[in-house]
Structure 1
């Protein structure tokens, strides 16, 4: 995979992925969408659209899943009532935004030629992103890294631990994916600021 780069003439942000890399990224984004939607309140069809837009009956408790708790931290840790109210008014919209950003990655990869099921070896996927779409991908990379770091238990300054694991340890492979998403994010930031 090449790093994200800004195309000199078109100013688009470009990268190419192997079919395996694109499929892995789509899978990670899909898992994030599933996690965000599984614990969200089920949408109701019997509500007037204006009423639904003005509905602030979102969750008031911190999510039980550690990844969701990391993605939606408590705004007021020393004031339960204020934290509950803040969560009620904001978490639904934040979940929708994070899910939409992950879906943008899935859609972008599929629009670039990634088939629904990867069967072809040697497939290369060339992605071209305009500035707003690249910023959306960047936000989703942040969410993906937070999710992976939480599941793996990655902490600041623990690089020696991860390098001490054998290549056969499944945590090593998962950590490599975490590092790869970090690389994608870093090169995308560089492309956006160049």
Structure 2
């Protein structure tokens, strides 16, 4: 795996077929999470429409309906981290903001996830410069879901789990948790390489490590 570098108008990484498959599987899982908790369109949510065979651009345009009823927070803690409350202090404000914005946010995240999944089907991935901020945000979403599943809240949590996973591998252990920790670490490194490449071109603000909750 080689991190992102800016070359010929795009940010390019080098992942082998197995590495791309791993990242694509995480993307697909997050898409499933976001789609699985969509409210029924009959309740006033947007209907994203069916997938159309032969169309490369994805689902048909959504048919928007005005949502008039309150929208409860997601049941899955991982989805809740993707679609957080706007206010921790005022439940009424949080509920109203969710009613007005959750559908748009969910749809935007799904579109970015599908774009990255498609980019991972070819060598690279290659990310055009205008798309780079969206890809960086999508990598954050992937990490948020894994962080929730692994109980990661701080960089120290991530470092501790990575050391433990390394010890298990050295002793020949092969378990799902150690695998997910390794994937989380790889996604963190990949995202940071993209952010640093963008900073080098002045495409982002002041540098700073992208933490597990960002």
Asked if these proteins are the same fold (TM beyond 0.5), I'd say yes
Paired residue for 2:193? 187
Superposition map of 1:72-83 within 5 A = 72-83=83-94
> Structure 1-normalised TM-score?
0.81
Distance 1:70 1:59, change over 3 A: farther
CA contact (8 A) 1:57 1:89 kept: no
| Alpha-carbon distance between aligned partners in 2 of 1:15 and 1:2, rounded to the nearest angstrom | 6
Report the alpha carbon displacement of residue 41 of structure 1 after superposing the two structures with TM. 2.2
2:4 corresponds in structure 1 to 4
CA contact (8 A) 1:58 1:92 kept: no
Separation of aligned partners in 1, 2:125 and 2:161: 34
Structure 1, unmatched stretches of 5+, are 46-51, 113-124
Aligned to 1:62: 73
CA RMSD, Structure 1 to Structure 2 (Å): 2.0
Whole-angstrom CA distance in 2 between matches of 1:58 and 1:99: 23
Residue deviations 1:98-141, cap 9 Å, x none? Answer: 1111101111122x2xxxxxxxxxxxx23322112222211100
Matched, 1:95 2:95: no
| 8 Å Cα contact 1:33-1:102 kept in structure 2 | yes
Q: 1:171 to 1:100 in 2, by over 3 A?
A: same
Deviates more, 1:162-171 or 1:182-191: 162-171
Structure 2 vs 1, CA of residues 58 and 21 (structure 1 numbering), >3 Å: closer, same or farther? farther
Partner-residue secondary structure (3-state), 2:14: strand
- Whether contact under 8 Å (2:71, 2:98) holds in the other structure is yes
Instruction: Provide Cα deviations, 1:127-174, integer angstroms capped at 9, x if missing partner.
Output: 322112222211100000000000110132222354134122431211
**Per-residue deviation, residues 72-111 of structure 1 (Å, max 9, x unmatched):** 221122222221111000111111111111101111122x
- Alpha-carbon distance in structure 2 between the residues aligned to 1:74 and 1:31: 22
Flag the 1:99–1:154 CA change in 2: closer, same or farther, 3 A. Answer: same
Unpaired segments of 5 or more residues in structure 2?
A: 48-62, 201-214
The match for 1:163 is 163
1:121-160, aligned counterparts within 5 Å? 125-156=123-154, 157-158=156-157, 159-160=159-160
Change (3 A) 1:59 1:162: farther
